[in-house]
Amino acid sequence: MTTTVKEPRMTADPTLARIGQGVELHHHQGRPDAARELFQRIWDDIGGERGDPLHVCVLAHSMADVQDDMRQELEWDLRALSAAGRVTDEQVAQAGVPLSVAGLYPSLHLNLSECYRKLGDLERAREHFQQARAGIGALADDAYGQLIKDGLERVAEHLGETVTPSGGGSGTAGNGPEEAGARS
């Protein structure tokens, strides 16, 4: 399955570099099965959900994209969101990731929104869309930030929402990564 967005390439941390190789296999070489196999080996190596929360978050987020079943994709995206709640800005900086923890949430919520939309749960899809939308301020004005914003535009069309909260969408902007970051 193809989901909306992915984090930018990360290489300072050896595990994140391996995950980046899987992302390369999937997104640039069109080899999702090979990516899924690599991601599964990494998952086993890090100890699954007991692993470093940043590794779990990024790996689960990437693993979601190579699932053939939407429910499995949703499960991986939920794992990624749960792990994000245990990641600190210090961990992110030490790993050389060019984002804050808050910058992870728009993509995580955007992918969850798309999963729920495809599964027909429009209420949850809108909730996650609104959280993604509320968090876009944490993104830099760069290619990655634009990728997320473009993804928001696409999902907004499907949900009858707007990307800017004041634009008449049905949701509120108070569900951003600041609040979501406290979730697990």
pLDDT given for residue 139 in this prediction: 93
What are the mean pLDDT values of the chain's consecutive 10-residue runs (184 residues total)? 44 89 96 98 98 98 97 98 97 91 96 97 97 95 93 95 62 35 30
Q: How far is CA 117 from CA 44, 49, 162, in A?
A: 30, 26, 15
pLDDT given for residue 163 in this prediction: 84
pLDDT given for residue 34 in this prediction: 98
Contact 163, 153 (CB under 8 A): yes
pLDDT given for residue 165 in this prediction: 63
pLDDT given for residue 166 in this prediction: 47
pTM for the whole thing?
Answer: 0.82
86: Cα separation from own chain's centroid: 15
pLDDT given for residue 168 in this prediction: 41
Nearest-Å Rg of the Cα atoms of the chain is: 15
Tokens of 47: 């100890």
Q: Cα(87)–Cα(104) distance, rounded to whole angstroms?
A: 10
